[in-house]
Amino acid sequence: MNANLLLSQNIETAIEGTFTLGQRIADKIASFGGSWTFIIFFFSFILIWIVINIWVLLWQPFDPYPFILLNLILSCLAAIQAPIIMMSQNRQEEKDRARSEHDYKINLKAELEIRLLHEKIDHLIVHQNKRLLDIQQLQLDYLDELAIKLSNK
């Protein structure tokens, strides 16, 4: 494996590219089913249903007061919508898990790179100190030579 391989890339397209058509449709349905648009639309549908069966069709409603047909429709919707939402949540969990693993790899590589940089800096400091000691020793040798020359005069 190449040590310089870039890990910081967008994995969303790779994750979502593996989903089937049915899974993508389920995600869209779950997304719509959990929106205010759906809530408002369905509340309006129920309200219109009740108004039509109470006021408009006062003498011959197709779904009289306990609204058994409406309850059946709501039950069927809930029975179909619940597994679709669960499938979407499972896929979301898979995506979160993949993102988490990817983030872990990036953090691990960053930690290793930082550790390597610390080692390089420590190495440079040690060599710089050695070089400074060598320069100091050379300066002391020059001072000793000057002191000997001055003492001889």
What's the token pair of residue 121? 């800096």
Range of the domain at 97: 13-152
Mean of the per-residue pLDDT values of the chain: 88
Domain count of the fold of the chain: 1
**Would residue 114 count as lying in a domain?**
yes
**Would residue 7 count as lying in a domain?**
no
Is the pLDDT at 16 greater than 70, yes or no? no
How far apart are the C-alpha atoms of 36 and 81, rounded to whole Å? 16
Is the pLDDT at 9 greater than 90, yes or no? no
DSSP H helices, the chain, are 12-16, 21-33, 36-51, 68-152
For tokens 């100190």, name the residue: 129
Is the pTM higher than 0.95? The answer reads: no
**Would residue 6 count as lying in a domain?**
no
**Would residue 1 count as lying in a domain?**
no
| Rg of the chain over all Cα atoms, to the nearest angstrom | 38
